[in-house]
Amino acid sequence: MLFRWDWLRPQLTAPIVPTLGPIHPDALTVDLFEDTLRAADTRDFLPYDKDRRWGGRKDERVLRSDLVHQPERTFIPTLTRRGRGTVKVFAYGPCDSVDEAAELAAKLAAAHDVINARVVRPLGPGTAHPRGTRIQLKDFSAGPCPAPDGPVRPVTDWPTAVQEAFASFAQAMAADGLAFLHTQMQAGQCGPVLAAAIENRIVGAIGPMEVRPDAIGRPQLMPQYFAVLPETRGQGLGRLLWRAAMHWGQAHGAAYQLLQTEVGGPCDRLCQAEGLASLGYTHTTPA
């Protein structure tokens, strides 16, 4: 075992694990960090990796030989070749260690011939004036999630003309991942997608809807792509889609869902209004 839990656990101000993303606090153990090192050697997906559903090989991996693990700080660097390539250093420890983490990120980016170098810092839920990304928890045991009353249903339940409109919607919202989602839908490689339609035109969607076990076997509603056309925002369609997704997750046995939302953004405000719990933040800065 490489990691000492008595060193690492006090530094985990937010439940984020390199290459895996947010983790339910109940599942946050030293074994998850050890598993990421084994996956770095095989390039395979871990059984509970949220990205496993897309198939292929795991792109982001831990640079295990460049780890820094000390009583008061732990730096875990990762490498991805997507785009022009990125090195991230997850900096667990005091704020005065950020410069050291940035130096390591820049050094590793040069060594691996990639363009981007980043430092990712987890921040506690009590952080004043947070920036970056909020980690949010939807606990399905907290209360019922009734089906909303509105023009939302699975894409495949809409008339054919509406279903065919999904392609143009997906292209318009490509920046939000909907074009990628559409390719997965066409290949039959993902769960259902919920869509909102007005006058036979799809104007919003959330999906895919899938429940998979986490690292300790608890059923987790997986993260979704979520978008509403800009010209139709402000009509409550995002809230309808969100509530329909939560109804689906609860009805299909999910115990919880974890989300990452941009602090102060529309999804962040929606999740806060819907009563989700904040588990902390991640703040990413260029090295």
pTM summary value: 0.92
Ranges of CATH 3.40.630.30 domains, the chain: 136-281
Question: pLDDT value at position 150?
Answer: 93
pLDDT mean by block of 10 residues, the chain; 287 residues: 92 97 96 94 91 88 96 96 95 92 98 97 94 97 95 96 95 96 92 95 97 97 96 93 98 97 93 95 96
Backbone angles phi, psi at 194, to 5 degrees: -90, 140
Question: What contacts 96, CB < 8 A, 6 or more positions away?
Answer: none
Question: pLDDT value at position 183?
Answer: 95
Question: pLDDT value at position 55?
Answer: 81
Question: pLDDT value at position 96?
Answer: 85
Question: pLDDT value at position 1?
Answer: 67
Which fold is adopted by the domain 136-281? Answer: Aminopeptidase (3.40.630)
